[in-house]
Structure 1
Amino acid sequence: MGREFPVVFVTGARQTGKTSILTHLFRDSSYVTFDDPAKAAEAENAPSDFLRSLKLPAIIDEAQYVPGLFRHIKVVVDEKKKKGQFFITGSQNFSLMQNLTESLAGRCGIVNLHSLSAGEVMRSRPKTSIEDYISMGGFPALHADSEVVPQHWYPSYIATYLERDVRNILRVGTLREFNRFLRAAAIRTAQTLSLSDLARDISVSPNTIKSWISVLQASHIAYLLEPYHRNLGKRLVKSPKLYFLDTGLVAYLMGISTWQDIINSPLAGALWETYAFNQIYRHLLTQGMTNPALYYWRTSAGQEVDFVIEKGGRFVAIEAKLTGSPGVADVKGFHALRQYYGAESIIKGYVLCKVGEDFSIGEKIKATNGIVLDF
């Protein structure tokens, strides 16, 4: 992307490898991080002088701490008129995206970097099972060093997230209520979002919950999957489903540490569906889709397909099932979808389930474990 745009913005949750990838790919670039308060102050106080002091190309890390810098970057890139001048990282989306769109429209390419997919982990650590992956998650630090214990790593991760990202976005004094919200939201992964239910559980207002959900989205912790309707107005009035963007993180927040814990938990199906969502979402992002046409489909009568990907008015339809023996009963939602949108509306169908190898379970319907996807 550095060959297409003068500025590349790499965004994603903390500890997903944004800085490591950039410093590896662009070893001759200058590097500065605004985690260093002195550097952040220097950039804030004299932005033009700061930028001109950098050797280009330059990597600017944790740019969310100096969001006003972007309009000054615009001046520099317009003067130089070269591709790949600045590579910027950030773990928050709120002010960063607003400033990017206002200041660097047409000059900036955006890359969303999430924790590793199951396939990425298994290519580097072939002995890792799907069960291991779901219970550990995909953060690179957990797979780079076998001595790192997830149950020790996640508390530190969450503490840093609360102190650095949440406090910075919300400007709040105490984070105790947000921490309670985070855990209450985790047990609702793969469920239709109810602001009032969450608000009642932790004794805050629905408007506060709405604001906090936006924080989870902005910091790449969770995603809201919208329902699909051909009528866009109808699509917007229905409730989205909440998915956490890493299974290990959400399992930790649920108090679950092993696959056996997952199987014994009433939340097992929700965790498997969260795994399925993340595999699908990451696969679509690798195809260059920054805003994939990914939805869920549900009728007022309760007929449902877990995931639909719209392609030219037709669909790839996917069900997530925690089973090793998928069958026709698992795809009854596909038949309902065809009744609504036509017999040829489904391009391909998948049951993303706990099988070793892909196999067909009907015309244009495949059972897969989701490690390798082909749509």
Structure 2
Amino acid sequence: MIARDLHNKLVDTLQHFPAVALLGPRQVGKTTLALEIGHSRNSLYLDLESEQDRAKMAQPEFYLSDHQDKLVIIDEVHRAPGLFPVLRGLIDRSRRAGRKNGQYLLLGSASLDLLKQSGETLAGRIAYLELTPFTVLETPEFPSDELWVRGGFPDSLLADSSAESLRWRQNFIRTYLERDIPQFGPRIAAETLRRFWIMLAHNQSGLLNSSQFARNLGVDVKTVNSYIDLLVDLLLVRRLTPWHSNIGKRLVKAPKVYVRDSGLLHALLTIPDKEALLSHPVVGQSWEGFVIENILGSVSDDVQACFYRTAGGGEVDLLLSWPNGNLWAVEIKRSVTPKLERGFHSACTDLNPSRKYVVYPGSERYRMALDAEAISLIDMVRELNDIGE
């Protein structure tokens, strides 16, 4: 079994909060990680997709009161929206009795849904962590591009063949569209949402043009934005915001959008393997999204991420803004001989970043200019990970 980098952070967070919500898409490994932690202590696992476990929780206050000496792991917690006020009362009662933290580990497949339900009810009592698909730091034993091509969902990455991996991802997409997504909002025709998801895949790393999507789908802009919001909330799509600052430049205001897992991106575009990907027009944009997901999975929550683009052509693929005010400019190139372009130099003149990197698929780290380095993705995330420790 592949060890997850989030393991130690989750254990530590449980020591400091009565409740921890572990968020992530379905099949990303939340249950496996939770049970691994639960095996090392007195714990109880409840799956709210199980009729038997839902029956146990018909009167949650009575049932959970009998297990306050355990770490209670509640899977698919979004199925019980009325549970959070109950948890608040139980947590407060335990606090008054002098009991320790680490009482509840809540697993959910959507971010905003849980935040809405628990944000006020459990304020000061709950911490949120996101489990992403596997990252390059977690899978050093795999060929360098296999994680990129197949994506980081465990069953996809560990499949016996490329065909089996693609088949798993296609079934995953179908299940989300037909069974899972209807749980989280108004009924949306699965075929319409599939078409929209595929459009997003073709637009990988592009600026969000809601009006164009609306025309292509035959719906209004408000509906398109609700689709985007839903896929973002389900942690399947990333909306990367543009840099906003009064620097006397005309800045692009639309966000960029990415299908977060590269394997799902390739499945949506029916790209079966590396050879097909390398000859596909989306190859550069796919690599960009893959790099961004790995980088953002290695920085702390207080680091702000955005992109920079001006009407005059200045552009940085990823801008990391640190709490101390420092900026890191990260350019992403799918070339073993990357070159710094005029737009990057122009943007750096505007922004004056403290560090400049070009992430590329090679392994050698070297200086490209006086203050800019070419760096591999694995070295980049290791550096970020070391800072966060």
| TM-score, scaled to structure 2 | 0.87
> Offset of 1:41 from its aligned partner?
5.3
Match of 1:250 in 2: 265
Change in Cα spacing, 1:352 to 1:153, as seen in structure 2 (3 Å) is same
Structure 2 residue 310 is matched with structure 1 residue 307: no
Structure 2 residue 110 is matched with structure 1 residue 95: no
> Offset of 1:335 from its aligned partner?
2.3
Q: Of the candidates 109, 124, 142, which is equivalent to residue 156 of structure 2? A: 142
Q: Partner letter of residue 8 of structure 1? A: V
RMSD of aligned alpha carbons: 2.2
> Offset of 1:194 from its aligned partner?
0.7
> Offset of 1:6 from its aligned partner?
0.4
State the Cα deviation string for residues 156-212 of structure 1 (Å, max 9, x = none): 211221234310112316322111111111111211111111112222211111001
Q: Following superposition of structure 1 onto structure 2, how do residues 324-343 of structure 1 map, counting pairs within 5 Å?
A: 324-327=336-339, 330-341=340-351
Q: Following superposition of structure 1 onto structure 2, how do residues 1-375 of structure 1 map, counting pairs within 5 Å?
A: 1-27=13-39, 28-40=42-54, 42-43=56-57, 45-54=58-67, 56-81=70-95, 82-122=100-140, 126-130=141-145, 132-146=146-160, 149-172=164-187, 174-231=189-246, 238-284=253-299, 288-289=300-301, 292-311=303-322, 312-327=324-339, 330-341=340-351, 345-373=352-380, 374-375=383-384
Q: Distance in 1 between matches of 2:113 and 2:325?
A: 34
Q: Distance in 2 between matches of 1:120 and 1:18?
A: 15
Q: Distance in 2 between matches of 1:184 and 1:106?
A: 40
State the Cα deviation string for residues 124-153 of structure 1 (Å, max 9, x = none): xx24222x2211001112334535821210
Contact 2:46 2:73 survives alignment (8 Å): yes
> Offset of 1:40 from its aligned partner?
3.1
State the Cα deviation string for residues 18-43 of structure 1 (Å, max 9, x = none): 11111101213100011113433553
Local SS of the residue matching 2:138: helix
State the Cα deviation string for residues 91-122 of structure 1 (Å, max 9, x = none): 01232111121111011111111101123122
| TM-score, scaled to structure 1 | 0.90
Q: Distance in 2 between matches of 1:183 and 1:172?
A: 19
Contact 2:152 2:261 survives alignment (8 Å): yes
> Offset of 1:372 from its aligned partner?
2.7
Change in Cα spacing, 1:352 to 1:11, as seen in structure 2 (3 Å) is same
Local SS of the residue matching 1:120: coil
Task: Give unmatched runs, 5+ long, in structure 1.
Answer: none
Task: Give unmatched runs, 5+ long, in structure 2.
Answer: 1-12, 385-389
Local SS of the residue matching 2:342: helix
Q: Distance in 2 between matches of 1:235 and 1:51?
A: 56
Q: Which deviates further from its counterpart, 218-227 or 271-280?
A: 271-280
Q: Distance in 2 between matches of 1:236 and 1:332?
A: 17
Q: Distance in 2 between matches of 1:214 and 1:340?
A: 32
Q: Partner letter of residue 178 of structure 1? A: L
Contact 1:154 1:249 survives alignment (8 Å): yes
Q: Partner letter of residue 302 of structure 1? A: G
Contact 1:243 1:277 survives alignment (8 Å): no
Q: Which deviates further from its counterpart, 275-284 or 105-114?
A: 275-284
Q: Distance in 2 between matches of 1:236 and 1:14?
A: 36
Q: In percent, how many aligned pairs have the same letter?
A: 28
> Offset of 1:366 from its aligned partner?
1.5
Q: Distance in 1 between matches of 2:308 and 2:129?
A: 28
Contact 2:133 2:154 survives alignment (8 Å): yes
Name the count of aligned residue pairs: 360
Runs of 4+ in structure 1 displaced over 4 angstroms? 234-237
Q: Distance in 2 between matches of 1:118 and 1:301?
A: 35
Q: Partner letter of residue 143 of structure 1? A: L
